[in-house]
Each structure stands twice: as structure tokens, then as C-alpha cells.
Chain A
Amino acid sequence: MSLQPHTPRAKMESRELTLRYGTKTAINKVSLAILEHRVTALIGPSGCGKSTFLRSLNRMNDLIPGTNHTGHILLDDTDINDRSVDVVDLRRRVGMVFQKSNPFPKSIFENVAYGLRVGGMKDKAELAARVEKSLRGGALWDEVKDRLNESALGLSGGQQQRLCIARAMAVEPEVLLMDEPASALDPIATAKIEELIHELKAQYTIAIVTHNMQQAARVSDRTAFFYMGELVECGATEQIFTNPREKRTEDYVTGKFG
């Protein structure tokens, strides 16, 4: 944290965000800032609303019928639910990587190029350059450069997840949301992903949901603890893990429940 010369501004921010599925409240009055060029970890027991919160940051919850919300989510001071914001534009600015790697049953190249193609990019050389750049950024280039035209489904689990990260990066979003990106991976693959997250924060603002507290401690600058749909505490990761203000946070990070 102290390495950064000046206090970063909030890239995204929720204000009093409440989200319901039908009548069930999933998130209750959450106000949280996601700082620019920082990694923010969202932790908490399962069902606490952290994933739902993450998904509302690029309006993936729109896809679930029966959800409604009150409050605001801001991206660079613009309400992302405002009529003036097109959800497609929003998702190009706020990318997402999912818990289970979900490459398309297409070639490695086409997977990474997908977001660019749907965005209207047609120039072959430009596409190739962007795909290479993204795969390098995703620390996958050296492993796949000779088989770009082979099916992405032939990659290992860890490679698939890095492919998905590269695919999300290809559209050059400003924010990258990660929903437990390493939960299905073995320790070595997980270490690679964590290393990658470290490198990415220079360019991106990252929010990551994780159930693994060591991981949160390793990769994040700031940590937000969710419990039963509410934001209990948010602060510098070091402070949350060594000197939490709230009793519930302490109980959770020390493993008393979870």
C-alpha cells in the first residue's frame, strides 16, 4: 500500500446497495469503494452475499429473473444502472472471470479473440497482436503459442482459467472481477494465478471473491468482510487480518467459524 505515492481514488463504489431475489434480501445496504489499481478481496462465509455483490458490479445479476435493487453502483462517478449506461459498454469496461473456467468450445485463438470480434474488430493483424498481448499478459503465451488453433478444451484446468483471464483482458477492461478464480485448481496452478493477479494490478483495478483467507492475505491490498448480506468491515488487508475492529471479523479470519 505504502508503495503507492498518493492515495488512489475509488474506481467503483457502491452506495447503500440493497439487492433482493424476489423477497429474499441478498445484500443489505452495502457501501464499499473499490480503489483504482488495487486488489480488493471480498471474503466471508458462503452465502454471505460476496459473489452477488461482485456480480452486481457488471450487472450479471440482470440475467437472474426476479432480482431488484436499491442504492447505487458507481463506475467513475457514473451510476451503472442509469439509463444512459449501456450494459454491453459496461461489461466491456468491467470484465469478469468465473469460478469454474468456462472456455468456449473453440480454438485457443478464437477464445481470446471472442470479445474483440463481438466488439467489431475485424483486422486480422490487429486481432493477432491483441491475442498475443493478452495471452502474454495472462502468462500463457509460452505454453500455447504453438497450438493457438487447437481446441481450448484440451488445456489443463489451470491453463483454462488463465485463458479465461486472458480472454477477459483482451477487451482491455478497466476493472477485472474475479469470482473465486482459483477454487477449482491445484496449489501450483493457484500460485500461478495469484502471481498473475499481482502483475495485473498495475494495469487494472481488481476485485476478487475468495473463500481462502491465506489467498486474500497474499494477493489483496484491501479486504472487505461480508456476513449475512452485510458489509461488516473493510480496510487494508494487513489491518483486517492482524487488527480487525469488529469481533465477527476476528472470529472469521481466525477460523472460529466459516
Chain B
Amino acid sequence: MDRQVVMEQGLTETLAVPRLSAAARRRQLREKVIAGIVTLVAFTGIAALVLIIVFVAKEALALFLEPEARHEASLSKMFLPQVVRQGKPPAFVWQPVSNVPKVSMIPLFIGTLKTTVVSMLVAVPVGVFGALYAAEFAPRRLRELLKPVIELLAGIPSVVLGFFALMVMATVLQDTFGLHTRLNALVAGIGLALAIVPVIFTVAEDSLTAVPRSYREASLALGATPWETAWKVVLPAAAPGILAACVLGFGRAIGETMIILMASGNAAIVSASLGDSVRSLSATIAAEMGEVVVGSPHYSILFFIGVQLFLFTFVLNMLASAWTKKVIKRLTGSAS
């Protein structure tokens, strides 16, 4: 732009106009090429996300296009109650491998919902209160110790948490509550909580510490005690961030696979009891993908479940990042 102005005004005659040297031209070209490559590579993230949804959806598409798949797994067969045996009331049944495949997704939704709700009931209070303690009450030393410890907890592979839920927690919980099945929604949910507590803690703690010191000082100067300040000033100020933390945790819980695969019992039972075995959406993919025929309706259904999981977590993520932005905006007075 500035150069244009120069061109338009025309240089006065006193100005010499040398040509750009060959070395400088080469240098400029090299810089442009490098910038181009860097920019091109930056597309990878976008491309990955697009490719994920495109290729997962592509394999699921047969459900809507091919007559055989449409017959075996129509939307009504997946989401509405079906008469499984003559003379019985219609029900939701997931039995994709049988003479007459029954492909109701409702038992899977119920399984996912049960484990997710249990895990949230445990993880939200623990994670948020823990973050409140770390941000507001803990002595500095303890706080500096607490954060790496939580990072270590977050670093435990989910297959190890699944193993722990399966081998240790299942036995303890069965003995405590007298459950008749060893692996059930309760065990899987609590195991799942171990995986999402660090997520909730970290995001909640970040937004609590983002609350400016001046808020606290103002409150304390008015005679409020530290807990009143924490409860009535800091917590409300960080509320969107904490909500975001919970939403992120929720998203993690819905998509988490190995813990549920190992600790839930994997029986697609429709019931309200937390003591029954459950089968979640994610665990169904993991358990059945190994045995399906590529291109069969069952195969497409598993990819269709993947599409649903992708969409759920995508929406939850967008919500969470919108709320995080909100808390930053509110606390700093500017978007960032």
C-alpha cells in the first residue's frame, strides 16, 4: 500500500532508482517459499478434522444408500422400538449378529448415558472442589505439588484405569453395595471419573486463577472472609470457565473407550439400575469392529456410531471453547 502511494506521487527527479539486486531477489523468493510451506503445513490440522468426519461418514453412508443396509438398519430400526418376537411388546434390542439382526441404538445410548452420568456425578464435585482448593485455599507449597500430581493422574493411560476398575474397584464396589453383577455401570462410571477428573480440575483451576487479584482484594477489604470471597466472588466470576471444564469432561466421558470396554460388562441391557451391565457407543465400536465384514450393514452401523460420537463431542467442544472465551473476555475486558 505504502509503495503504491510512492508510485502514485511519483518520485522526484533527485531520487535514483536502482534495481533490486539479484541476491536480494533470491532472498525474497526463498522467504516467500518458506512462508508458503509453513502456511501449507498449517492446513494439516484443518485437513485432519475434515478428513476424519468425511472418511468416518463415508463408511457409514451405505446405511442410507444401499438397499440391503437400508432394509437391515433403517432409522426406525435403529431408534424406534421393534417387535423382536411375535406376541411380545416392542422393545429396544442390540443384537447385530444374529439371523435377524436387531440394531436398536437405544440400549447403547442408555449405556453411554449411565456411565457418563455416574462419572460426572463423581468427577464434577471432586474436580471443581479440588480446583477451588488449589486456587484459593491451598498453601503455595501444596499447590505447587498438587498440579504435577494431577498431571501425572492425567497421564495414566486409559487402559490402565480400565484395568484398575476391572481388577480392583469392581471387587470393592461389589462387596460394598452387594451388586449381583461384578462389572456394571457404576464400576465403569467411577473408573471413567478417574479419567475426567484431571480434565475438569485443570480447566477449572485455570479459569479460577484467571480471576484478577483485584477482585479478591476488593472483597477481602470489604470484610469478607477468604471462603466468602472464594464462594461469592471468585467462583461466580469463573463460572463460564468451570462450566466449560464440565462440558469438556462430559465430552471426554462420552468418547472414552477402554475404561468402559473393560469395566462395564458390555451387555446391552435396557434398565434404570446402575448395578446392571451396560454397553456404551464407544465400547461397541471397539468390541465389534474386529469381527465385522468390511462393507456389511453391521460395519456401516459401527461407523455411523462413530459419526454420532464425533458430532456429540464436536458440539460440546464448541460450547466449551465459547464459554472459555467468555470468561477470558469478561475478566480481561477484551477478546483474545
Contact B21 A72, beta carbon cutoff 8 Å: no
Chain A residues closer than 8 Å to B1, beta-carbon distance: 68
Q: Does B14 contact A (CB under 8 A)?
A: yes
Interface of chain B residues 1 through 54 with chain A (CB within 8 A): 1-3, 5-6, 9, 11, 14-21, 24, 27-28
Q: How far is the CA of A69 from the CA of B2 in the complex (A)?
A: 6
Chain A residues closer than 8 Å to B15, beta-carbon distance: 72, 74, 77-79, 82
Q: Does A128 contact B (CB under 8 A)?
A: no
Q: Does A246 contact B (CB under 8 A)?
A: no
Contact B16 A68, beta carbon cutoff 8 Å: no
Closest chain A residue, CB of each to CB of B28 = A86
B24 touches which of A78, A79, A89 (Cβ 8 Å):
A89
Q: How many residues in B have their beta carbons less than 8 Å from beta carbons of A? A: 18
Contact B18 A84, beta carbon cutoff 8 Å: yes
* Interface bits A34-76 vs B (CB < 8 Å: 1, else 0): 0000000000000000000000000000000000111010100
Q: How far is the CA of A81 from the CA of B15 in the complex (A)?
A: 12
User: Taking A77-B15, A77-B16 as contacts, is the C-beta distance between A86 and B6 under 8 angstroms?
Assistant: no
Q: How many residues in A have their beta carbons less than 8 Å from beta carbons of B? A: 16
Closest Cβ of chain B to A89, distance in Å, is: 6
Q: How far is the CA of A78 from the CA of B27 in the complex (A)?
A: 20
Interface of chain A residues 77 through 134 with chain B (CB within 8 A): 77-79, 81-86, 88-89
Closest chain A residue, CB of each to CB of B20 = A84
Contact B17 A86, beta carbon cutoff 8 Å: no
Closest Cβ of chain A to B11, distance in Å, is: 6
Contact B6 A84, beta carbon cutoff 8 Å: no
Contact B3 A88, beta carbon cutoff 8 Å: no
Chain A residues closer than 8 Å to B3, beta-carbon distance: 81-83
Q: How far is the CA of A85 from the CA of B3 in the complex (A)?
A: 11
Closest Cβ of chain A to B262, distance in Å, is: 48
Closest Cβ of chain A to B65, distance in Å, is: 49
Contact A86 B20, beta carbon cutoff 8 Å: yes
Interface of chain A residues 6 through 25 with chain B (CB within 8 A): none
Q: How far is the CA of A68 from the CA of B17 in the complex (A)?
A: 22
Chain A residues closer than 8 Å to B18, beta-carbon distance: 78, 84
Q: How far is the CA of A68 from the CA of B11 in the complex (A)?
A: 18
Q: How far is the CA of A254 from the CA of B19 in the complex (A)?
A: 48
Contact B5 A70, beta carbon cutoff 8 Å: yes
Q: How far is the CA of A68 from the CA of B1 in the complex (A)?
A: 8
Closest chain A residue, CB of each to CB of B24 = A86
Q: How far is the CA of A89 from the CA of B281 in the complex (A)?
A: 62
Contact A82 B17, beta carbon cutoff 8 Å: yes
Contact A88 B24, beta carbon cutoff 8 Å: yes
User: Taking A68-B2, A69-B2, A81-B3 as contacts, is the C-beta distance between A86 and B16 under 8 angstroms?
Assistant: no
* 18 A-B pairs whose Cβ atoms sit less than 8 Å apart in the complex: A70-B2, A72-B11, A74-B15, A78-B16, A78-B18, A81-B3, A82-B15, A83-B3, A84-B17, A84-B18, A84-B19, A84-B20, A85-B20, A86-B24, A86-B27, A88-B24, A89-B21, A89-B24
| Contact surface of A with B, Cβ cutoff 8 Å | 68-70, 72, 74, 77-79, 81-86, 88-89
Which 6 A-B residue pairings sit nearest by Cβ, starting from the closest?
A86-B24, A84-B20, A70-B5, A69-B2, A77-B16, A81-B2
